Amino acid sequence: MKFWTLVLASAITAILGCAVGGTRVTDTNNSLHTNHYEWVVPPERGWNLRQLREPAPSLVLTDNLQLGPNKIEFRIRVAENGIVAEALRRQSAKFIADDFRRYNRNVMVEEGVKTGQYTLSEVETGEIEVGGKTFWTMEYRINQQGLLNHATMFLYFPKPSNNEHFLVILYSEAGPSNTVWTSKHKDDLMRILESVKAR
C-alpha cells in the first residue's frame, strides 16, 4: 500500500535535464508558502520560481551555471506532504521520516535502478539542526547516461509526534559527470532551511 505522494521519486525525472524557467526571485516575491508552512528565499541570487501541479503540488527554484562547455542545474523543490494513514499520524517524526525515506529509496531502486534507467549511489540518511529545527535528511547520487545528480532531501516536521503533514525540501545539483562541481547555492539552501516555519 502506498502511503506517500511520490514527491521525491517523481522529482528525479524533472531534475535530470529540465530547462530553467519561471519568474525571477526578487525581494518582492521571495516569501513563499504552502498550506501549512512558509519560508524565505534569498533574493537576487539567480533563482527562478515555478509552480508545479503534477505529480504533486510543489514550488521549484532553479538556476543554471555555465562552466566552460558544461552546465550545472541547481534545483530546490519544496512540497507539503500529508500523512494519510491515521496510525502513522500517531508515530514519532523519526518513525515517519524513516518510513518516508525507506519508501522513496525503494521507489528509486524499483523504478530506476532495476529498469536500467540510472545507477544509484549508497543512500545516506541522517539529521541536522538548522535554526533550532530538526531536518531529517537523505543524501544520494544518481548517474543517468553521463549526467550526475547530487541530491539531498530534507524533511521537516512541526512536532515531535502527532503530525498531520510535513515539509519536503529536495536540493539537487545536476550536470555532466565530468564537470568540476561547485556548491554555489549551499548557503542559500541553509538560509531557506533556517527560515522555514509552520503557519
pLDDT confidence bin for 15, thresholds 50/70/90:
very low
Cell of 160: 515531535
Q: What is the mean pLDDT of residues 10-18?
A: 44
- Report the range out of 20-29, 54-63, 125-134 with the highest average pLDDT: 125-134
Q: Is the pLDDT of residue 119 over 50?
A: yes
pLDDT in tens, 142-189: 988 888 888 999 999 999 999 999 999 999 988 887 776 667 788 999
- pLDDT 10s digits, 65-104: 877 778 888 999 999 999 988 888 899 999 999 999 998 8
What does the pLDDT read at residue 16? 44
What pLDDT band is residue 7 in, cutting at 50, 70 and 90? very low
pLDDT exceeds 70 at position 11:
no
Q: For a pLDDT cut of 70, what percent of the chain falls above it? A: 85
∠ CA(151), CA(123), CA(117), 5° rounding?
A: 70
Q: What are phi and psi of 135, to 5 degrees?
A: -120, 130
Give domain 7-198's CATH superfamily: Mog1/PsbP, alpha/beta/alpha sandwich (3.40.1000.10)
pLDDT class of 4 with cuts at 50, 70, 90: very low
State the pLDDT at residue 41.
96
pLDDT number for residue 5: 47
For the entire predicted model, the pTM comes to 0.89
